[in-house]
Structure 1
């Protein structure tokens, strides 16, 4: 059982020389992958490497629903198209309530950067999301991408540009949402060890509940405190991208990642104590967490109401 609570916080980036850095994205969004075969049946971990576990049919449906929900919070040309996509791909459950999202910047979102964990279930989740983005672009801008230009999780790239359309192909006065995809192993899930025997993992999970989720380290694996170090490194990379003026604009940055990683990311970003981290439960499969930039204070504000343990 868990209850929900609202939470806000600040970034670690202070204003530089009294001026706001000008390249920060309007939104940073964390997305947990859709339901995987392991979420449904833990015995798969006994013979399938964790990074090779795929989505279930439900997980694919959640991924497409998340794609529509992500479009719902973007600044787009035609919200009626988005509403149709939300209705088309709706699934029950999985979404978290958003509180106080104000669209503080109303400029159209035309450049979105996706970072994805290299695990199969996160890449497949991203595929479902981007299929919906391609559908929106086709309906709004009149551009039907060839298959070779659509994102494919089976064709991994360390850094890839997908979904690019020539401006002349787009309908006049219509904004095309261009996206880029970057694989980053630092945003993978907490390592629980290699092949996992179901009975022993149940015992370890019970011990973790008593010991504490943040400091408990799995044999041959990691603790959430170890994940924190990866998160710190990744966030430093994001900061460097925000500060480089010559880089292409990033209207929105999206991380397609995992449950524990998302919680640790928020802990580091908003400077939560480990006790605050322990109070939150994992976000549901296929749900997203929204951070909006408030330019008046040069800080990101958490707009999603997170689930908490009772």
Structure 2
């Protein structure tokens, strides 16, 4: 079994933080560069699939669904499920720019995993919904007729938390990791005993508890 994790292409929110104040997070579009990133990622994903079909699970946000569309997978996407549990961390509704800046500082000081955003979620809340998604996904992948590869098109924090949950990484390690770049991927492979990550996430600091990413390779 394999899971290919892909972050969406560059979105309006990646280049204009004030966009979150006037456009709902779920409706933020890709930029022109984001569309091109997704088109360039298509051949890479097709090469990973090696001509075999994949079941696609995609966040229902506009930027993730459009990333999937620009991949141009065609018949290789055997089934596609818009999965709300793969959405980005909820920051509430339309954001106030002044409050947005204050909350970012508070979140950094408190810790990204446990800090709950007013009218939104904490990282721990996202972790909880991803636990339920992973349980369902592993059961589906073991069922007869399901492709052996799942492609998950989601968001930066969500992908990090999905790996944290799958590998049992500590909160300290999770908070030391960087998000994937836009349209960057990671491949998880089940070797019969457990999951392995093809290559590590970038780290902006060593984990304070000394924990390392793994298993890798």
Q: Same fold (TM over 0.5)?
A: yes
Q: What is the RMSD computed on CA atoms of the aligned residues?
A: 1.4
Please give the alpha-carbon distance, in whole angstroms, between the structure 2 residues aligned to 1:64 and 1:115.
18
Over 3 Å counting, the alpha-carbon distance change for 1:192 and 1:178 in structure 2 is closer
Tell me the CA shift for residue 113 of structure 1: 0.6
Residue in 2 aligned with 1:285?
Answer: 182
1:50-61 to 2 correspondence within 5 Å?
A: 50-61=25-36
SS in structure 2 at match of 1:307: coil
Residue in 1 aligned with 2:115?
Answer: 216
Please give the per-residue CA displacement for 1:96-151, whole angstroms capped at 9, x wherever unaligned: xxxxxxxxxxxxx2x2111011100000000011x2x34xxxxxxxxxxxxxxxxx
Please give the alpha-carbon distance, in whole angstroms, between the structure 2 residues aligned to 1:195 and 1:37.
15
Tell me the CA shift for residue 239 of structure 1: 2.0
Please give the alpha-carbon distance, in whole angstroms, between the structure 2 residues aligned to 1:180 and 1:125.
16
Residue in 2 aligned with 1:192?
Answer: 91
1:211-290 to 2 correspondence within 5 Å?
A: 211-245=110-144, 248-290=145-187
1:92-107 to 2 correspondence within 5 Å?
A: none
Checking the alignment, whether the CA contact within 8 Å between 1:53 and 1:121 is kept in structure 2 is yes
Please give the alpha-carbon distance, in whole angstroms, between the structure 2 residues aligned to 1:222 and 1:75.
38
Please give the alpha-carbon distance, in whole angstroms, between the structure 2 residues aligned to 1:277 and 1:73.
26
Please give the alpha-carbon distance, in whole angstroms, between the structure 1 residues aligned to 2:98 and 2:77.
46
Q: Which structure 1 segments of 5+ residues have no match?
A: 1-24, 77-108, 135-162, 164-176
Tell me the CA shift for residue 71 of structure 1: 1.8
TM-score, structure 1 length as denominator?
Answer: 0.64
- The structure with the greater share of residues assigned to helix is 2
Q: Which moved more, 1:45-54 or 1:286-295?
A: 286-295
Residue in 2 aligned with 1:118?
Answer: 60
TM-score, structure 2 length as denominator?
Answer: 0.90
Tell me the CA shift for residue 178 of structure 1: 5.0
Tell me the CA shift for residue 305 of structure 1: 2.4
Match of 2:4 among 5, 29, 32: 29
Checking the alignment, whether the CA contact within 8 Å between 1:66 and 1:288 is kept in structure 2 is no
Please give the alpha-carbon distance, in whole angstroms, between the structure 1 residues aligned to 2:30 and 2:190.
32
Please give the per-residue CA displacement for 1:258-309, whole angstroms capped at 9, x wherever unaligned: 01110110000000111111111111111111112224xx322100221111
Checking the alignment, whether the CA contact within 8 Å between 2:55 and 2:146 is kept in structure 1 is no
Q: Which structure 2 segments of 5+ residues have no match?
A: 206-217
Tell me the CA shift for residue 214 of structure 1: 0.5
Please give the per-residue CA displacement for 1:49-102, whole angstroms capped at 9, x wherever unaligned: 1101100001101111222211232324xxxxxxxxxxxxxxxxxxxxxxxxxx
Please give the alpha-carbon distance, in whole angstroms, between the structure 2 residues aligned to 1:256 and 1:309.
24
Over 3 Å counting, the alpha-carbon distance change for 1:242 and 1:74 in structure 2 is closer
Residue in 2 aligned with 1:145?
Answer: none
Q: Does 1:127 align with 2:24?
A: no
Please give the per-residue CA displacement for 1:206-264, whole angstroms capped at 9, x wherever unaligned: 1111111101111110000000110011011112213323xx13131011000111011
Length, aligned pairs only: 205
Q: Does 1:71 align with 2:46?
A: yes
